[in-house]
Every structure is written in C-alpha cells, then in structure tokens.
C-alpha cells in the first residue's frame, strides 16, 4: 500500500506499477496518462486524425479528406468533415503564429539588435 500526502492510499486497483522498489498504483507514483499532458491543439489534431482513419483515409494535415463511405448519412459525413476542417484550420493558425515568432527572432539576430540564448530562441 502506497502513501500519498502522508496517508495510506487504500485504493483497489487492477494494475500495479514497479517504478521503484515497490509495486504501487499509478496514483501513488503520480503517473498520468499521455492525453493529460497534451495541449488542446494536439488533442484536437489527434481527434481529427482518428476521424480521417475511421473514414478510411490517412492521418495528417496534408492528407486528402476521404470520400463519404457507402451507407453513411450525408449529414453525419458533413459534421465529421467540418470537425476535421476546424482542427486543420486551428493547427495551421498555430503553426503560422509559431513561424512568425521564430521569424521575428531570426530578424532580431540578423539585425544585431539582440542575441537570445538557445533556450529563449525556441520557446
């Protein structure tokens, strides 16, 4: 039984982890799922890729959207397509914003006005 915040855990769990010397639950080791560490944009893109694959297409921003599967209602297909397009637009906006930031930092370097350290440059 693990100890969390000075109290014994006491949880009934199915899976135990051996991260140290003991077998404890994920709560005691303070483990999180990958999706809990994702940014909103990453989660949105993951959902969009799942929709593309569900419809028989390829994942990714540059992949063409798959045609409507036989037997699927037009309205359902249009809702899925709109969700993927919204995610793609959000991703492209985010990428554009990041590129503008990097471009501004590169200009500052070439102008000689400022010399940021490496950690600051890629933040």
What does the pLDDT look like over 98-110, one tens digit per residue? 899 988 888 887 8
Q: Residue 2 is part of which domain span?
A: 1-31
User: Strand pairing of 7-8 and 3-4?
Assistant: antiparallel
Q: Is residue 19 located within the same domain as residue 49?
A: no
CA angle 86, 62, 91 (to 5 degrees): 35
Number of domains present in the structure of the chain: 2
> Are residues 24 and 82 located together in one domain of the fold?
no
pLDDT band at 117 (very low <50, low <70, confident <90, very high): low
User: Are 10 and 61 in the same domain?
Assistant: no
Residue 68 and residue 111 in one domain: yes
Residue 118: what pLDDT? Answer: 59
Residues 54 and 27 in one domain: no
Question: What's the CA angle centered on 32, arms 30 and 37, to 5 degrees?
Answer: 130
Identify whether residues 45 and 25 lie together within a single domain.
no
Question: Do 19 and 48 reside in the same domain of the chain?
Answer: no
- On whether both 44 and 26 belong to a single domain, the answer is no
- One domain, residues 61 and 85: yes
Are 45 and 27 part of one and the same domain? no
Tell me the per-residue pLDDT of 3-54, one tens digit each, with 9 for 90 and over.
666 777 878 888 888 877 778 888 888 888 887 888 888 888 888 999 999 9
Indicate the range of 10-19, 55-64, 75-84 predicted with least confidence.
10-19
Q: Are 83 and 49 in contact (CB under 8 A)?
A: no
What's the pLDDT at 68?
A: 93
pLDDT of residue 40: 80
For the cut 90, the answer to whether the pLDDT of residue 73 exceeds it is yes
């Amino acid at each position: 039984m693990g100890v969390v915040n000075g109290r014994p855990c006491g949880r009934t769990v199915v899976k135990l982890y051996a991260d140290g010397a003991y077998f404890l639950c994920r709560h005691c080791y303070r483990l999180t799922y990958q999706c809990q560490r994702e940014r909103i944009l990453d989660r949105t893109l993951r959902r969009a890729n799942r929709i593309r694959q569900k419809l028989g297409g390829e994942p990714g921003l540059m992949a063409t959207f798959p045609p409507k599967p036989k037997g699927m209602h037009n309205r359902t297909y249009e809702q899925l397509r709109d969700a993927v397009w919204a995610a793609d637009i959000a991703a492209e906006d985010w990428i554009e914003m990041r590129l503008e930031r990097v471009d501004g930092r590169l200009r500052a370097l070439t102008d000689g006005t400022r010399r940021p350290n490496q950690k600051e440059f890629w933040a």
